[in-house]
Amino acid sequence: MRKTLTVILLVVTGFLAGCDSSITDVKTFPSPNGKSILVIATELQAANDPTPWWTHVSLKEPTEDFEKIPGNIVTLQGSGQIDAQWDRASSVVTLRIKSAFKDLDKLPSKKQLKGITILFITSTENKPNKTK
């Protein structure tokens, strides 16, 4: 009986440990005026998640901790390259998304958040070409 309980405890502990996710990469892009920071975080889900990679894009103030998962701008399935560039007035940030993220065609062309305009420019150049 004790051996059975030990095995059950090990299985449950292993399952719970496998349910965690971890942030594997964080890139920050501070605005020129220093009032905002764009954060791009790549998250690796547990092994039992059907979509293991997620990329979160958030806008935060310098005094805020980065604890906003999912991203308050957008969360994308997959991982890939996202570059960000602020305008000089710190009122517009352009996101250039180059990868095979899922559902890129569902992204809006722009979004407003905290008085800042976020522009989305997408490229699916890394996706395989469709053949007829």
Give 14-69 pLDDT, tens digit per residue: 444 455 778 888 999 999 999 999 999 888 887 766 668 888 899 999 988 776 56
Instruction: Please report the pLDDT score of residue 23 as a whole number.
Output: 82
Residue 6 binned pLDDT confidence (cut-offs 50, 70, 90): very low
Range of the domain at 73: 22-123
Residue 105 binned pLDDT confidence (cut-offs 50, 70, 90): confident
With beta carbons less than 8 A apart as the criterion, state whether 26 and 66 touch: yes
Q: How many CA atoms lie within 13 A of 118 on its CB side?
A: 23
Does a structural domain hold residue 62? yes
Number of structural domains in the chain: 1
**118 against 107, higher pLDDT:** 118
Does a structural domain hold residue 112? yes
Q: Is 106 left (phi over 0), alpha (psi -120 to 50) or beta?
A: alpha
Does a structural domain hold residue 8? no
Instruction: Please report the pLDDT score of residue 129 as a whole number.
Output: 39
